[in-house]
Amino acid sequence: MLTGPGLSLHGGVQRQKSTPWAIMLFIGYWLMFAAEFSMIRFSQGDDGRWIVSTTDQPPVWISLLLLAVVICSFVVAIGFIFALWRERNQSSWFWGAQDFTGNDVLHIVAWMHVFQTGVLLLYGFFLEGTLFSEGTIGGTLESASFQLFLLLLIPIWFRGRWGEIGLTRPVRLGQMILVLLVLFLFIAKVLDVAITSPLADWLGLSLSSEREQQIEKEILQAKDTDLLASIASFVVIGVLVPIAEEVLFRGVLQTYLVRRLGAILGILLSSLWFALLHIDIALFVPLFVIGLGLGFVRHRYQSIWGAVLLHAVNNLSGVLYYFH
């Protein structure tokens, strides 16, 4: 899966020590992903529509599976970090240019699972609640900690290779701006009416989203706290989160998948991963469709900045809507 002409799994001898650990963490990431989806429940509302929610009390077998994955992942994460530390003087993998390979994707996902494991350990065993109150600057940063981690990790990992993941000037800039305008109008005015609502009606699915309700709650609490908290919410949700997600999905994942599988499959699979990562069944379809649009812009104009701009404008419009 992660091999191919010019995109070998091992980026040279220097990767051999950390790659087996990265593979185990990659598997752990998907096990955790599956466990999270298994906690989704469907219940019928008063109007007969299916409401999607996440259970607070998972079955015993899910809890045991999560515990086993977390413990094993913690041990593997130590081995992974130690192996990377031993490789630091043997290659330029962290500080210089080399070809973009499947091994890069493997290691980025491994780091994602390391972060995920650390968060579960921290909040599951050491903290009774969150570090910061909701609606504060700290609370906003804490809720977006995963995206902020990516915003640090990926540029450092690809130092000297930013052009490989689309951190470059777009081609045909004027045309791209027009396409972005059309896509934004489609998302704002057409997507819900033409696709999301009719499909939800056909499936009998409520569009009430726990994730969106939580985001709205955090934004309103920030608004009620003070001006600095409001600005932090605006910047983090409207700017930093879109940059982080686009660097991951359209920069790293789509770039590799397009090279490996072609443009159509690459954009489809990265958009599917993008929609699934939000774990939001109620809004899965619009997230997937938006992902397709973002993927098209990234591929057509050979840069992630158009996708970042569209993603940011979409998020900022949502933040402003909640503010008012």
pLDDT of residue 90: 58
Stretch 42-67: mean pLDDT: 87
Task: Count the residues in the chain.
Answer: 324
Q: Please write the tens of the pLDDT for every residue from 263-278.
A: 999 999 999 999 999 9
| Number of other CB atoms surrounding residue 111 within 10 Å | 22
For tokens 């009430």, name the residue. Answer: 208
Model confidence, pTM: 0.91
CA atoms of 199 and 196, how far apart (whole Å): 5
Mean of the pLDDT values across residues 293-321? 96
Q: In the numeric block, which tokens belong to residue 256?
A: 């590799």
In percent, the amount of the chain with pLDDT more than 70 equals: 92
Residue 7 pLDDT greater than 50, yes or no: no
- Do the Cβ atoms of 284 and 191 come closer than 8 Å? no
CB atoms within 10 A of CB 240: 20
Domain ranges of the chain: 1-129, 133-324
- What does the pLDDT read at residue 86? 86
Q: Which of 259, 287, 268 is nearest to 166 (CA)?
A: 259
Alpha carbon 165 to its chain centroid, in Å, reads: 15
d(CA 100, CA 262): 16
pLDDT > 80? residue 280: yes
pLDDT at position 52 over 50: yes
Question: pLDDT at position 323, please?
Answer: 81
| CB 113, CB 28: distance < 8 Å | yes
Does the structure show a pLDDT above 50 at 310? Answer: yes
User: Which range is least confidently modeled, 49-53, 91-95, 241-245?
Assistant: 91-95
Q: Which alpha helices (DSSP H) does the chain contain, by range?
A: 19-38, 60-87, 102-121, 137-143, 145-157, 173-185, 191, 197-203, 210-225, 227-235, 241-246, 254-261, 263-277, 284-300, 305-323
Of 238, 215, 234, residue with least CA distance to 226: 234
Can you give the pLDDT at residue 108? 97
**Two structure tokens written together for 234:** 């605006």
pLDDT at 287 over 50: yes
What band does 89 get if pLDDT is binned at 50, 70 and 90?
low
Two tokens, residue 272: 């599917």
pLDDT (0 to 100) of residue 16: 67
pLDDT-derived band of residue 322, with 50, 70 and 90 as boundaries? confident
Query: For residue 94, what pLDDT band results from cuts at 50, 70 and 90?
Result: low
Displacement of CA 242 from its chain's centroid (Å): 9
- Give the model's confidence band at 66: pLDDT under 50 very low, under 70 low, under 90 confident, else very high: confident
User: How does the average pLDDT of the chain come out, rounded?
Assistant: 89
Percent of the chain surpassing pLDDT 90: 70
> Is the Cβ–Cβ distance between 207 and 196 less than 8 Å?
yes
Contacts of 45 (CB under 8 A, 6+ apart): 51, 206
pLDDT at position 5, please?
37
The token duo for 194 is 């033409």
CB atoms within 10 A of CB 1: 8
Q: What is the pLDDT of residues 157-201, one digit of tens each?
A: 999 899 999 999 999 999 999 999 999 999 999 999 999 999 999
